[in-house]
Amino acid sequence: MIKHEQQAGVLKIVFDRPEKKNSFTGAMYRTLREVLIAGDLDPAVKVILLSGAGNIFSAGNDIQDFINSPITLEDAPPITLLRTLAELKKPLIAAVDGFAVGIGSTLLFHCDLVYAQKDARFIFPFIALGLVPEGAITLLMPRLIGHQRSSEILFFGEPVSAQEAQKLGFVNKVILESSALQYAEERAKVLTAMSFGSLLQTKALLKSGRLKSEILEQIDAEASLFMERLKGPAAKEALSAFMEKRVPKFKDLD
Protein backbone atom coordinates (compact mmCIF):
# COMPACT_ATOMS: atom_id res chain seq x y z
CA MET A 1 0.00 0.00 0.00
CA ILE A 2 1.19 3.50 -0.83
CA LYS A 3 0.20 6.26 1.59
CA HIS A 4 0.70 9.92 0.82
CA GLU A 5 -0.06 13.31 2.27
CA GLN A 6 0.93 16.87 1.51
CA GLN A 7 2.12 19.15 4.31
CA ALA A 8 3.51 22.66 3.84
CA GLY A 9 4.85 22.03 0.37
CA VAL A 10 6.21 18.53 1.06
CA LEU A 11 4.58 15.49 -0.53
CA LYS A 12 5.26 12.65 1.89
CA ILE A 13 5.00 9.20 0.34
CA VAL A 14 5.18 6.10 2.55
CA PHE A 15 5.61 2.49 1.43
CA ASP A 16 3.14 1.04 3.93
CA ARG A 17 3.21 -2.73 3.81
CA PRO A 18 5.37 -3.54 6.84
CA GLU A 19 4.00 -7.07 7.25
CA LYS A 20 5.66 -7.85 3.88
CA LYS A 21 8.71 -5.65 4.55
CA ASN A 22 7.26 -2.99 2.23
CA SER A 23 7.86 -5.18 -0.82
CA PHE A 24 6.26 -3.85 -3.99
CA THR A 25 3.36 -5.39 -5.86
CA GLY A 26 2.33 -4.37 -9.36
CA ALA A 27 -0.52 -2.34 -7.91
CA MET A 28 1.87 -0.49 -5.59
CA TYR A 29 4.19 0.38 -8.48
CA ARG A 30 1.26 1.82 -10.42
CA THR A 31 -0.04 3.83 -7.46
CA LEU A 32 3.41 5.15 -6.60
CA ARG A 33 3.95 6.29 -10.18
CA GLU A 34 0.57 8.05 -10.25
CA VAL A 35 1.29 9.84 -6.96
CA LEU A 36 4.76 10.92 -8.13
CA ILE A 37 3.43 12.30 -11.42
CA ALA A 38 0.61 14.16 -9.66
CA GLY A 39 3.06 15.63 -7.16
CA ASP A 40 5.45 16.71 -9.86
CA LEU A 41 2.60 18.57 -11.59
CA ASP A 42 1.03 20.06 -8.45
CA PRO A 43 2.23 23.69 -7.97
CA ALA A 44 1.65 23.36 -4.21
CA VAL A 45 4.30 20.62 -3.96
CA LYS A 46 7.90 21.80 -3.66
CA VAL A 47 9.66 18.62 -2.47
CA ILE A 48 8.84 14.90 -2.57
CA LEU A 49 9.88 12.66 0.32
CA LEU A 50 9.97 8.84 0.25
CA SER A 51 10.06 6.56 3.31
CA GLY A 52 9.00 3.11 4.46
CA ALA A 53 6.75 2.10 7.35
CA GLY A 54 7.85 -0.17 10.18
CA ASN A 55 11.55 0.77 10.23
CA ILE A 56 12.24 -0.75 6.83
CA PHE A 57 12.50 1.04 3.50
CA SER A 58 11.61 -1.72 1.04
CA ALA A 59 12.49 -5.36 0.40
CA GLY A 60 12.06 -4.74 -3.34
CA ASN A 61 9.78 -6.83 -5.50
CA ASP A 62 7.24 -9.03 -3.80
CA ILE A 63 8.57 -12.34 -5.11
CA GLN A 64 5.22 -14.15 -5.11
CA ASP A 65 3.56 -11.25 -6.94
CA PHE A 66 6.56 -11.17 -9.26
CA ILE A 67 6.12 -14.89 -10.06
CA ASN A 68 2.39 -14.45 -10.63
CA SER A 69 2.82 -11.32 -12.78
CA PRO A 70 6.31 -11.42 -14.33
CA ILE A 71 7.75 -8.48 -16.25
CA THR A 72 7.09 -9.28 -19.89
CA LEU A 73 6.55 -5.88 -21.51
CA GLU A 74 8.53 -2.64 -21.59
CA ASP A 75 5.56 -0.81 -20.03
CA ALA A 76 5.49 -3.12 -17.01
CA PRO A 77 4.85 -1.23 -13.73
CA PRO A 78 8.43 -1.40 -12.31
CA ILE A 79 9.94 -0.13 -15.56
CA THR A 80 7.50 2.73 -16.02
CA LEU A 81 8.06 3.71 -12.37
CA LEU A 82 11.82 3.87 -12.91
CA ARG A 83 11.37 6.03 -16.01
CA THR A 84 9.12 8.36 -14.01
CA LEU A 85 11.71 8.67 -11.24
CA ALA A 86 14.37 9.52 -13.82
CA GLU A 87 12.22 12.31 -15.24
CA LEU A 88 10.95 13.97 -12.05
CA LYS A 89 11.52 17.71 -12.06
CA LYS A 90 11.12 18.38 -8.33
CA PRO A 91 13.63 17.54 -5.58
CA LEU A 92 13.26 13.95 -4.40
CA ILE A 93 14.46 12.91 -0.93
CA ALA A 94 14.61 9.42 0.58
CA ALA A 95 14.68 8.53 4.28
CA VAL A 96 16.01 4.98 4.57
CA ASP A 97 15.49 2.87 7.67
CA GLY A 98 16.33 -0.83 7.77
CA PHE A 99 16.85 -2.70 4.51
CA ALA A 100 16.61 -1.37 0.98
CA VAL A 101 16.71 -4.33 -1.41
CA GLY A 102 16.65 -4.59 -5.20
CA ILE A 103 14.54 -1.80 -6.64
CA GLY A 104 14.35 -0.46 -3.09
CA SER A 105 18.03 0.40 -3.54
CA THR A 106 18.18 1.18 -7.25
CA LEU A 107 15.46 3.82 -7.00
CA LEU A 108 17.67 5.71 -4.53
CA PHE A 109 20.08 6.55 -7.36
CA HIS A 110 17.28 8.67 -8.83
CA CYS A 111 16.85 10.60 -5.58
CA ASP A 112 18.56 13.94 -5.10
CA LEU A 113 19.18 13.41 -1.39
CA VAL A 114 19.36 10.16 0.60
CA TYR A 115 19.48 10.03 4.41
CA ALA A 116 19.99 6.65 6.06
CA GLN A 117 19.58 5.49 9.64
CA LYS A 118 22.83 4.02 10.98
CA ASP A 119 21.59 0.41 10.78
CA ALA A 120 20.32 0.70 7.18
CA ARG A 121 21.58 -1.83 4.65
CA PHE A 122 21.53 -1.68 0.86
CA ILE A 123 21.38 -4.91 -1.17
CA PHE A 124 21.53 -5.44 -4.93
CA PRO A 125 20.68 -9.18 -5.32
CA PHE A 126 20.11 -9.33 -9.07
CA ILE A 127 22.79 -11.86 -10.04
CA ALA A 128 21.82 -14.04 -7.07
CA LEU A 129 18.35 -14.19 -8.65
CA GLY A 130 19.70 -15.07 -12.09
CA LEU A 131 18.82 -11.59 -13.38
CA VAL A 132 20.58 -8.35 -14.29
CA PRO A 133 20.37 -4.97 -12.52
CA GLU A 134 17.66 -2.41 -13.28
CA GLY A 135 16.94 1.30 -13.11
CA ALA A 136 20.09 2.40 -14.98
CA ILE A 137 22.14 1.34 -11.95
CA THR A 138 24.83 -0.04 -14.27
CA LEU A 139 25.27 3.49 -15.59
CA LEU A 140 24.75 5.57 -12.45
CA MET A 141 26.70 3.49 -9.92
CA PRO A 142 30.01 3.31 -11.86
CA ARG A 143 29.81 7.06 -12.55
CA LEU A 144 29.51 7.67 -8.85
CA ILE A 145 31.82 5.09 -7.25
CA GLY A 146 33.88 3.59 -10.08
CA HIS A 147 33.86 0.34 -12.05
CA GLN A 148 35.66 -1.95 -9.60
CA ARG A 149 33.61 -1.04 -6.53
CA SER A 150 30.39 -1.26 -8.56
CA SER A 151 31.41 -4.70 -9.81
CA GLU A 152 32.00 -5.90 -6.26
CA ILE A 153 28.61 -4.65 -5.07
CA LEU A 154 26.63 -5.93 -8.06
CA PHE A 155 28.51 -9.22 -8.58
CA PHE A 156 28.27 -10.44 -4.99
CA GLY A 157 25.06 -8.72 -3.87
CA GLU A 158 26.38 -8.41 -0.32
CA PRO A 159 24.84 -5.82 2.04
CA VAL A 160 26.32 -2.33 1.97
CA SER A 161 26.16 -0.55 5.32
CA ALA A 162 24.89 2.99 5.73
CA GLN A 163 28.38 4.11 6.70
CA GLU A 164 29.95 2.53 3.60
CA ALA A 165 27.20 3.96 1.40
CA GLN A 166 27.99 7.42 2.73
CA LYS A 167 31.71 6.94 2.00
CA LEU A 168 30.88 5.81 -1.52
CA GLY A 169 28.60 8.80 -2.05
CA PHE A 170 25.10 7.45 -2.54
CA VAL A 171 24.02 8.39 0.99
CA ASN A 172 24.30 12.03 2.07
CA LYS A 173 24.22 11.54 5.82
CA VAL A 174 24.00 8.71 8.34
CA ILE A 175 21.43 9.40 11.06
CA LEU A 176 22.17 8.14 14.57
CA GLU A 177 18.60 8.45 15.84
CA SER A 178 16.15 5.54 15.59
CA SER A 179 14.86 6.75 12.22
CA ALA A 180 16.12 8.90 9.38
CA LEU A 181 12.67 10.31 8.69
CA GLN A 182 12.66 13.28 11.05
CA TYR A 183 15.97 14.56 9.73
CA ALA A 184 14.81 14.11 6.13
CA GLU A 185 11.62 16.01 6.93
CA GLU A 186 13.67 18.86 8.39
CA ARG A 187 15.84 19.05 5.27
CA ALA A 188 12.75 18.99 3.06
CA LYS A 189 11.29 21.87 5.06
CA VAL A 190 14.47 23.89 4.51
CA LEU A 191 14.17 23.37 0.75
CA THR A 192 10.54 24.57 0.69
CA ALA A 193 11.72 27.99 1.96
CA MET A 194 14.23 28.41 -0.86
CA SER A 195 13.72 29.85 -4.33
CA PHE A 196 11.63 27.15 -6.00
CA GLY A 197 12.61 28.23 -9.50
CA SER A 198 16.28 28.06 -8.59
CA LEU A 199 15.81 24.57 -7.13
CA LEU A 200 14.08 23.30 -10.26
CA GLN A 201 16.65 24.81 -12.59
CA THR A 202 19.57 23.51 -10.53
CA LYS A 203 18.16 19.97 -10.56
CA ALA A 204 17.60 20.25 -14.31
CA LEU A 205 21.22 21.34 -14.79
CA LEU A 206 22.50 18.49 -12.61
CA LYS A 207 20.48 16.11 -14.77
CA SER A 208 21.38 17.56 -18.14
CA GLY A 209 19.48 16.52 -21.25
CA ARG A 210 22.27 14.23 -22.37
CA LEU A 211 22.54 12.47 -19.02
CA LYS A 212 18.78 12.04 -18.79
CA SER A 213 18.72 10.49 -22.26
CA GLU A 214 21.51 8.12 -21.29
CA ILE A 215 19.65 7.11 -18.12
CA LEU A 216 16.41 6.41 -19.98
CA GLU A 217 18.27 4.43 -22.64
CA GLN A 218 20.04 2.38 -19.97
CA ILE A 219 16.77 1.71 -18.14
CA ASP A 220 15.37 0.27 -21.38
CA ALA A 221 18.53 -1.72 -22.17
CA GLU A 222 18.58 -3.26 -18.71
CA ALA A 223 14.84 -3.96 -18.86
CA SER A 224 15.24 -5.84 -22.13
CA LEU A 225 17.93 -8.10 -20.69
CA PHE A 226 16.03 -8.40 -17.40
CA MET A 227 12.95 -9.73 -19.21
CA GLU A 228 15.09 -12.08 -21.28
CA ARG A 229 16.82 -13.43 -18.18
CA LEU A 230 13.51 -13.77 -16.34
CA LYS A 231 12.35 -16.33 -18.91
CA GLY A 232 15.54 -18.36 -18.54
CA PRO A 233 16.31 -21.39 -16.35
CA ALA A 234 18.65 -19.55 -13.95
CA ALA A 235 16.00 -17.04 -12.85
CA LYS A 236 13.36 -19.74 -12.57
CA GLU A 237 15.66 -21.80 -10.36
CA ALA A 238 16.57 -18.78 -8.22
CA LEU A 239 12.95 -17.73 -7.69
CA SER A 240 11.91 -21.31 -6.87
CA ALA A 241 14.80 -21.61 -4.43
CA PHE A 242 13.79 -18.34 -2.78
CA MET A 243 10.22 -19.52 -2.25
CA GLU A 244 11.45 -22.90 -1.00
CA LYS A 245 14.06 -21.26 1.28
CA ARG A 246 17.01 -23.15 -0.18
CA VAL A 247 20.25 -22.31 -2.00
CA PRO A 248 19.78 -22.14 -5.81
CA LYS A 249 21.74 -24.53 -8.02
CA PHE A 250 22.89 -22.67 -11.12
CA LYS A 251 25.22 -25.29 -12.58
CA ASP A 252 24.60 -25.81 -16.34
CA LEU A 253 21.56 -23.51 -16.26
CA ASP A 254 23.06 -20.65 -18.30
- The pLDDT value recorded for residue 132 is 95
Q: Break the chain into its structural domains and give their ranges.
A: 2-178
Q: What is the CB neighbour count within 10 angstroms for residue 254?
A: 9
pLDDT for 69 beyond 80: no
Cβ–Cβ under 8 Å, residues 97 and 56: yes
Average pLDDT over residues 58-80: 81
Q: DSSP 3-state assignment of 82?
A: helix
Q: What is the CB neighbour count within 10 angstroms for residue 113?
A: 19
Average pLDDT over residues 24-32: 95
pLDDT for 254 beyond 70: no
Cβ–Cβ under 8 Å, residues 75 and 227: no
Average pLDDT over residues 21-47: 96
Average pLDDT over residues 135-161: 97
- The pLDDT value recorded for residue 252 is 67
- The pLDDT value recorded for residue 197 is 97
pLDDT category of residue 242 using cuts at 50, 70 and 90: confident
Write out pLDDT tens, residues 176-222.
Answer: 999 999 999 999 999 999 999 999 999 999 988 778 899 999 999 99
Average pLDDT over residues 39-59: 97
Give the span between the Cα atoms of 209 and 145, in whole angstroms.
22
- The pLDDT value recorded for residue 126 is 95
Give the span between the Cα atoms of 84 and 105, in whole angstroms.
16
> Superfamily for 2-178?
2-enoyl-CoA Hydratase; Chain A, domain 1 (3.90.226.10)
Write out pLDDT tens, residues 107-135.
Answer: 999 999 999 999 999 999 999 999 999 99
Q: How far from 28 is each of 23, 60, 112, 137, 199, CA to CA, in Å?
A: 9, 11, 22, 21, 29
Q: What is the CB neighbour count within 10 angstroms for residue 65?
A: 17
